[in-house]
Structure 1
């Protein structure tokens, strides 16, 4: 890369050091497939060119093929970037370019290895065996046709490698999104088992919970920051670009279509209800909820503050459901809550009611005379009432929260459905896991409804101050 005229950045060295490892037991490359997901303008193109030039110079008669969004764009990059860079570098005398349309190749004079291009079609890569395939700008690929064309051409080449590289795409970037999901799962499996796969995956991105306007977030996602990119430039891009496009280009997030706002959830009021100094007191109501796919569950608390406003807080938001009943039983012993609310009537959390009772959280013998700490099993009408109450409280400013990521994400992604003339939270169509919001909604309802029965000093008027 230095001979091409570039100074390698640490992140590029890291990718090469891993992706080009040789297995000492076999003498061949350790990784047959390499994935690289990195934001725009971080040096991806120069890094990929170095890989291709290295391959052409290191082994004889290698067939190297590059593909981009289309053949036209691949040709443009091949001629205007790849060959121009080589021609102006210290390596110029070692290569010659053949520019005939359909037969483009940058040829190493000694090894006779060729760097060519191809179109993004099912026939790409057909012909002689392929040693190195590079699928660039993978966000623009509509399906797996290119990989399905490249892979068979590599079967007889023991040192073959297939690279894909891209910045973040959109929801329509199905192949890229699948690759990123598989790559993350592969890394987690590697950490869990210690067994290295035959694929290497590299990704720099900012998780959704990190604020886009924080330089600390940029340092997470932009490996070239401080080398070829400055914070001032990124700040200028932030001020200029649409937030979704900024996230895609510089935080390497998948750009999602922005749906119309739900008319029933007043999420615009949510930021104004933040109070990071707000704290729970001893008279709390607890509630739990389970996501529709049962992959996550939440426990939330609600309590009345001295100023009459209601404090909402997510106590726990974790994967699975096996932890919920033991956690709720422990909280029940520690806090002696006003009530423990859980929705029935077909709600996912209804399956935990019997276990809660077995753990010592009783259903009131007389629904009209509950005792402190009893279960508040919510019927459909109770759930609709709770949803409407929270929406009113948000509009009236009578609740406060800590701006916890799971709860704020649930508010922003919540969708509702009509039930007669009322509405309820819709787990199926919501854009995020809404179990934190449902739990907070139910906890507030339990406080307002059960409070007058079990708290001697409870003034229900304070809930609507």
Structure 2
């Protein structure tokens, strides 16, 4: 039925891979319930997953009874973007007269006026849809979520499906070492395919083989890798251009393998500088309150490649929260950006590692009238160890927002011991650890607001 809706309502002919997913995934048992309540669609970028989602929503909500479809992605904003893509396609189609879009601050819905069926976005957080009873759940970009998020989100619909049969469609491209839910779904799905129970979990996956003739796919010559991806992509001969893939390959081979080859990127070291399990436990979606007095941390790469600004606030219970603010190439942008933040959130303490290139940025900040916590070698070594200990101790005293740039910094960071016995962050690869440094400095600033050095007037000769 979804394929017919796509064809007759939206004027879109389903791709063969979409038709296969729908033929299998929407199979109905003799009692009228779906054979599969959990469906995994792991497909490369540019496969056409958006139209699949649109067809599923139209089928679920366009029937004769009141139904509910919900969708989420990496965060609330991404969930709304996903919802808007699907809702707009439905509203612009011949179904438009049957639906009514409602868009307001923090509340969006597409409602079918005849049956009162609804399609809603929801933020991926606890209790987001606990008062609802969805018939269809769509989780997009599954690679973003860890196992903790899986537990939280599944608790919103798995109990509902036990008494009101529905389906959860989990869609994603390949992931990273942090993609706990994706890895779990892939393993669970492959086991289901091997067992072939005919119900429960339906698993669809498109990816290139990790090795060809004993050679890792990532080590193939460009033309061989391009042909391999082209031959395995589900939209080959259905609108996808090979010259587009060729351009993507020349831009970034690791990104190409992940986005179009379906190969998870290996961005984790064999041993991370902070315990991997504790780092995951310290990840939180809790945000710093808007009225909180925060500390700002500035990080500057030792080679001046990039710079970063992070905010931190310590809760009354003693746990520090951190949020990434900005991370850009170069350093000249930092002083004006920090000046604006300080003016908007005064009073605020600003900390920076006052060693190497950090000294130059500190001078620029002082010129802009920003009072600073200038961390010398001793304080900086203490800040690094305190941050590491705060994440690793139980219970934790430092949490983080899981920003991708911070995750990359942590996984490519090492500890360098100086001749005087101090230990501090250091790069172990070409990936900078700047965001880890700014986050460390931010926690120090949040804990030492009274140590700020007043700005000295600029000396002038008249």
TM tier relative to shorter chain: 0.5 to 0.7
Distance apart, 1:63 and its partner CA:
1.2
Counterpart of 1:229 in structure 2 is 240
1:246 to 225, 237, 256: 256
Aligned partners of 2:259, 2:15: CA distance in 1, in Å? 20
Aligned partners of 1:196, 1:228: CA distance in 2, in Å? 32
Distance apart, 1:223 and its partner CA:
0.4
Distance apart, 1:118 and its partner CA:
0.6
Answer whether contact 1:99 1:105 (CA < 8 A) is retained. Answer: yes
Counterpart of 2:267 in structure 1 is 257
Counterpart of 2:26 in structure 1 is 20
Indicate the structure (1 or 2) with the bigger Cα radius of gyration: 1
Partner-residue secondary structure (3-state), 1:104: strand
Aligned partners of 1:183, 1:155: CA distance in 2, in Å? 20
Aligned partners of 2:268, 2:102: CA distance in 1, in Å? 46
Cα RMSD over matched residues? Answer: 1.8
Aligned partners of 2:170, 2:123: CA distance in 1, in Å? 15
Measured against aligned partners, the alpha-carbon deviations of 1:341-400 in whole angstroms (never above 9, x if no partner) come to xxxxxxxxxxxxxxxxxxxxxxxxxxxxxxxxxxxxxxxxxxxxxxxxxxxxxxxxxxxx
Aligned partners of 1:258, 1:75: CA distance in 2, in Å? 31
Aligned partners of 2:228, 2:89: CA distance in 1, in Å? 32
1:71 to 65, 73, 76: 76
Distance apart, 1:216 and its partner CA:
4.3
1:11 to 17, 35, 43: 17
Measured against aligned partners, the alpha-carbon deviations of 1:278-299 in whole angstroms (never above 9, x if no partner) come to xxxxxxxxxxxxxxxxxxxxxx
2:143 to 139, 142, 161: 139
Counterpart of 1:94 in structure 2 is 98
Aligned partners of 2:242, 2:43: CA distance in 1, in Å? 17
1:120 to 118, 124, 129: 124
1:38 aligns with 2:32: no
TM-score, length-scaled by structure 2: 0.52
Counterpart of 1:173 in structure 2 is 179
Aligned partners of 1:30, 1:220: CA distance in 2, in Å? 31
Answer whether contact 1:65 1:133 (CA < 8 A) is retained. Answer: yes
The size of the alignment, in residue pairs, is 252
Counterpart of 1:273 in structure 2 is none
1:82 to 79, 86, 93: 86
1:217 aligns with 2:228: yes
Distance apart, 1:73 and its partner CA:
1.1
1:157 aligns with 2:164: yes
Partner-residue secondary structure (3-state), 1:200: strand
Distance apart, 1:150 and its partner CA:
2.3
Answer whether contact 1:222 1:250 (CA < 8 A) is retained. Answer: yes
Q: Which runs of 5+ in 2 are unaligned?
A: 1-5, 271-462
1:148 to 126, 150, 155: 155
Answer whether contact 1:34 1:199 (CA < 8 A) is retained. Answer: yes
Distance apart, 1:137 and its partner CA:
0.7
Distance apart, 1:171 and its partner CA:
0.6
Aligned partners of 2:53, 2:86: CA distance in 1, in Å? 10
Counterpart of 2:204 in structure 1 is 202
Distance apart, 1:141 and its partner CA:
1.2
Distance apart, 1:168 and its partner CA:
0.3
Aligned partners of 2:104, 2:153: CA distance in 1, in Å? 23
Answer whether contact 1:205 1:220 (CA < 8 A) is retained. Answer: no
1:111 to 106, 109, 115: 115
Distance apart, 1:83 and its partner CA:
2.3
Answer whether contact 1:66 1:118 (CA < 8 A) is retained. Answer: yes
1:189 aligns with 2:195: yes
1:52 aligns with 2:57: yes
Answer whether contact 1:169 1:253 (CA < 8 A) is retained. Answer: yes
TM-score, length-scaled by structure 1: 0.52
Aligned partners of 2:49, 2:154: CA distance in 1, in Å? 20
Answer whether contact 1:126 1:153 (CA < 8 A) is retained. Answer: no
Partner-residue secondary structure (3-state), 1:123: coil
Counterpart of 2:326 in structure 1 is none
Aligned partners of 2:160, 2:129: CA distance in 1, in Å? 7
Aligned partners of 1:135, 1:175: CA distance in 2, in Å? 11
Q: Which runs of 5+ in 1 are unaligned?
A: 261-465
Aligned partners of 1:259, 1:101: CA distance in 2, in Å? 41
Distance apart, 1:117 and its partner CA:
0.9
Measured against aligned partners, the alpha-carbon deviations of 1:397-418 in whole angstroms (never above 9, x if no partner) come to xxxxxxxxxxxxxxxxxxxxxx
Measured against aligned partners, the alpha-carbon deviations of 1:407-444 in whole angstroms (never above 9, x if no partner) come to xxxxxxxxxxxxxxxxxxxxxxxxxxxxxxxxxxxxxx
